[in-house]
Structure 1
């Protein structure tokens, strides 16, 4: 028996239940054992004379009536049973749980958890904790479940897994690390998390479990870094420095010190035989694209090919136009490849990539299709890296001779989170803006102050400029009273149809629809674009001068900053108007800081302090790993300790070849296999 066995080895788990468990990412017995509760119900027996009305509590007493099940509608029933608690008799009612009838026998003792009705002196039962022959726990774990599987089923299966394999749990955190940091072995963690005898045991288990989670994550990162450090996995790109300087001299502006530093860091990595895995992060408008252009050209001077992958067709077209202009006087053969590339042109591009007649290709997901092959791909640049999955990046890299990778992001992440988001990458940071970049005047107005904002929009439209109007929803919501995109589109069209063409853009549209609308806005055919956050990462529209964001308090500071960065890209003055009625002091503070600074790194740090790590960039956009227990912000000290422990371990034994590391080595190997099959 082993914890790597599939869940189907447990009683009552057939294919259907296994599929249901898989929706919770539970596929093996080990997954079940390490599927920990997110909180506990306190099941300590309460004195009813001290109980508050509607309080959830545990009562313990002797059964003084036979249980009776009464049906009162289709699939509806209630179970009534009376128990004597000290000198009082309490009526306990369970709804739609008729099978509990067999748990009660006259004259025996029972412990029941439920909601207390002080006025009626009755209890609405939620669970039977124990009977005469059972011990009542003092804490009950509450687990994350979904519509496919019940809480009680998960609990029963965890008990079955513990009974089968509780003695077979290997310790993946090495003994020396556990002893130094006074951590529990894995078996004690699992028992303490699922079946704690008291709050102290649960607390000790959770402390060790959080470290374990962070440590294993950091070990995965260190393992990836070892692959990059392996010379056999790399490619040296001996670029021509003189040709690079010639290109830089033709630029109509001077590079900032941060841009020069980033170019030097990237080029130094490219010359080395080890594999480059570098992230270029820079604020909105900091000039990442020109840095990318320089290193793309460096690759070409070494007689290698380069690929630039971006998330949208419109962005690909803009990059293609800019780079074609930049390389006009240089021997660079550059092509565009997207889903809309015509057949004849597409064939020519594919042939050119395969023969080496194309030096640089710019494209979307179309670049990772099977028929795209390269003669000598040396560098892959991925713009807005968080928009692509790990597997998508990997497919493009595997099309070449183990090419170097440069990922770019305009989402600044504070240093406190960099070790989780980008732990396996070297990071170059552009932390200054180019000279002449237009500042964006940011104001915050409440909804009853919209008149001045609308006047500003009309003034800009009459001056021939363009406007973004952003809202967080795309359809009516009964739960959240927000201005939604359809309604906002109607309002804006009604207000400005005489001076502007208004269009609507949201995430549920088909890709070709979105591209067509974004292209029309980019070309100036649409003057006012009402949109959800699909424009957060996107095209360069120098003529756009106003960004108005409705319900701005619903966005993170970093996201607001990203949206604001869509304007101010031309020579005209630019404005960002935040419309919000924040409900608390934190919300007010967030709006105020947006009006006070345009430093994306400062805003990201403030967002981290105000909202916590999980909310900063939105769950799908961040690139941050989703930890089950640990909070990278609240548990930062533990995260830092785990990182140091993992680094020390791999520095001493890069291959984890020592016998005591066998369980950890096996864990990492299994994770690699799982990643490959699930991505």
Structure 2
């Protein structure tokens, strides 16, 4: 017998029931025992004075009136009787359970579980309890029509009895002792058949930690495997790097210095770097990337920077050229729209090693690209690229170190789960002198107030964005649309100011043309959908007006707000919204209270969940069966630290306290690698 035996080994599991269990994700005995309850019903008896109205409760007392069965409607029944609990008579009613009448004898003691209505002193009966179950908690499981609660409980109890000798401790004993965790056998029995609430809580706490700990152990082992795969040391010239920093027209912030040190230390290590650089809008990620790329160039290697759009690639090329203009560094840009002749020349120079830094879009991972000696690849807005694209970038460039950047603040919860295979560097400080963006929430009937404010800003020489969720009218969503808003604002601002329109149905070339025109101030107002969310830098823009703002998540609102405040002037964001839900109201209030993207990202995660924050398919957030990484973040971080300490210990798998853990991980790692 083994815990990875099929559940078909249990009695009562035929082909039909086996299929139903598979639909619940239960294939093995281990899966069945890890199919933990959603909640528990407290069957312990209480007095009426101890219970609030609407609570589920067990009352024990004497049947003080003859049970009366009445029939009404089609095959519907009702049983009424009185139950004497201490000195109070409670009226008990059972609906559509006529067999209950046989179990009720006048003057006999009975325990009834049901929902209590305090004001009327009535109990809506759910069931009559056996005497030996009155002090227990009753588990409620995720079930289905094919596999009911009753069936699940019977199978789990059968497995607990049959396989209990195989329940070995996966959490090493020193860690269990340190955090007062239960042995695995006690945890499993406590989860499925707890005697009381205290036992259930202790079991759930242990189960949560075990789940987080095993997840982190697998993650750290995968990370170690990745780092050791064709890793190489980039021996950069530290003196050159320091001299380059001195040429910058500004002082690096303390946060920038910290992450630069983390990154260049990784470059020098012989392990493969897979690091995520996250920082709020305007925190200075680009200059950090520039320093990392310069370090690689100083070691005689090439660097590449991949951006999600051509306009962002061009923006990076312009910014980096300003950084490197006093240094002997050749920068080129390669995009999909480039003509054949210049493209051939760049490819030839790249292969010869004459180009130090290449900037581009996904065109960088085409099959005809050949680097001479690519040491570092920087990926901007890394969530826009899939894992396969990042792997392709490694393949074409001798497996370079990878630095992924994102301006989307990621809560620590997601950073150590969805991005757990990456090391994370955080720029948590804005450059000095940057003015916080003033944010105001207005109702729809105050739209004119916001537009009037925009006109005043335009009169002072500034520009403005107006963002709307949809491109065209929808019969199902009552939202403003870009086309209609564009036409209205053209009339409002004519003839003094020009209005542009940008949306997702334009071609990439058309989008770039519109944005370039806006950057040149040919349009003073740009009406746009969320295609302007990431990266575009127009320092002259001082107002961001977002229509139907409650339809956006906090992270997206924060990204949109970050399109202004890029220059020296005070900038403003107006959220136009009449939210119809409490969540919508909380989002609007949160946006006006803080400009800290990490605070907002955590709030967004709590309100909406990881799937909504990052997208269900892209979130990468594993589904934990019992642990809640959002609310149990400290436990997750503790599990991460313990896992790190173990895997960084030489010959950890041979230590007596780790043998069962190592054996379990080796048996399950392949299944985990293939997790999608």
TM-score by length of structure 2 reads: 0.75
Structure 1 residues 140 and 457, CA gap change in structure 2 (3 angstroms): farther
In the TM superposition, what is the alpha-carbon distance from 1:205 to its structure 2 partner? 0.6
1:203-239 per-position Cα deviation (integer Å, ceiling 9, x unaligned): 1112212322333344345435544775x75211123
Counterpart residue number, 1:35:
35
Tell me if structure 1 keeps the 8 A contact 2:554–2:604. Answer: no
1:313 and 1:630 mapped to 2: Cα distance? 42
Structure 1 residues 120 and 262, CA gap change in structure 2 (3 angstroms): closer
Structure 1 residues 120 and 381, CA gap change in structure 2 (3 angstroms): same
1:634 and 1:536 mapped to 2: Cα distance? 29
In the TM superposition, what is the alpha-carbon distance from 1:141 to its structure 2 partner? 3.3
1:502 and 1:148 mapped to 2: Cα distance? 57
In the TM superposition, what is the alpha-carbon distance from 1:565 to its structure 2 partner? 1.2
In the TM superposition, what is the alpha-carbon distance from 1:494 to its structure 2 partner? 2.7
2:339 and 2:639 mapped to 1: Cα distance? 51
2:437 and 2:67 mapped to 1: Cα distance? 74
In the TM superposition, what is the alpha-carbon distance from 1:496 to its structure 2 partner? 4.3
Tell me if structure 2 keeps the 8 A contact 1:283–1:410. Answer: yes
Alignment of 1:224-239 (within 5 A): 224=222, 226-227=224-225, 230=228, 233-239=230-236
Structure 1 residues 449 and 498, CA gap change in structure 2 (3 angstroms): closer
Instruction: Provide the secondary structure at the position in 2 that maps to 1:528.
Output: strand
1:398-420 per-position Cα deviation (integer Å, ceiling 9, x unaligned): 55444222222334567798666
Picking from 20, 37, 45, the partner of 2:23 is: 20
In the TM superposition, what is the alpha-carbon distance from 1:502 to its structure 2 partner? 5.8
Tell me the number of residue pairs that the alignment of Structure 1 and Structure 2 aligns.
649
Alignment of 1:197-216 (within 5 A): 197-216=195-214
1:81 and 1:389 mapped to 2: Cα distance? 60
1:156-200 per-position Cα deviation (integer Å, ceiling 9, x unaligned): 665565465454333210123223432112222222122222111
In the TM superposition, what is the alpha-carbon distance from 1:575 to its structure 2 partner? 1.7
Picking from 285, 288, 297, the partner of 1:288 is: 285
1:620 and 1:21 mapped to 2: Cα distance? 25
Picking from 87, 91, 94, the partner of 1:92 is: 94
Tell me if structure 2 keeps the 8 A contact 1:65–1:106. Answer: no
1:464 and 1:187 mapped to 2: Cα distance? 68
1:296 and 1:259 mapped to 2: Cα distance? 15
Tell me if structure 1 keeps the 8 A contact 2:502–2:514. Answer: no
Structure 1 residues 440 and 228, CA gap change in structure 2 (3 angstroms): same
What stretches of structure 2 of length at least 5 have no aligned partner? 85-89
1:473 and 1:150 mapped to 2: Cα distance? 47
1:335 and 1:8 mapped to 2: Cα distance? 60
Counterpart residue number, 1:186:
184
2:315 and 2:541 mapped to 1: Cα distance? 16
Instruction: Provide the secondary structure at the position in 1 that maps to 2:276.
Output: strand
Structure 1 residues 410 and 3, CA gap change in structure 2 (3 angstroms): same
Tell me if structure 1 keeps the 8 A contact 2:463–2:542. Answer: yes
1:257-303 per-position Cα deviation (integer Å, ceiling 9, x unaligned): 54455434423331232333333333311221122123224324434
1:381 and 1:400 mapped to 2: Cα distance? 12
1:18 and 1:374 mapped to 2: Cα distance? 52
2:299 and 2:162 mapped to 1: Cα distance? 60
Picking from 485, 491, 494, the partner of 2:488 is: 494
1:7 and 1:265 mapped to 2: Cα distance? 48
Picking from 382, 387, 396, the partner of 1:385 is: 382
Alignment of 1:398-547 (within 5 A): 399-412=396-409, 426-434=423-431, 437=434, 439-460=436-457, 463=461, 465-469=463-467, 485-487=479-481, 490-491=484-485, 493-499=487-493, 500-501=498-499, 503=501, 505=503, 517=511, 520-521=514-515, 523-524=517-518, 527-532=525-530, 535-547=532-544
Tell me if structure 2 keeps the 8 A contact 1:67–1:79. Answer: no
1:526-548 per-position Cα deviation (integer Å, ceiling 9, x unaligned): 7433435x654332233432112
1:122-172 per-position Cα deviation (integer Å, ceiling 9, x unaligned): 9877x768679x957843334457999876776666556546545433321
1:29-80 per-position Cα deviation (integer Å, ceiling 9, x unaligned): 4233223334323344567899877654557899x999999996xxxxx664
Out of 491-500 and 293-302, give the one that drifted further: 491-500
Picking from 625, 647, 660, the partner of 1:663 is: 660
TM-score by length of structure 1 reads: 0.74
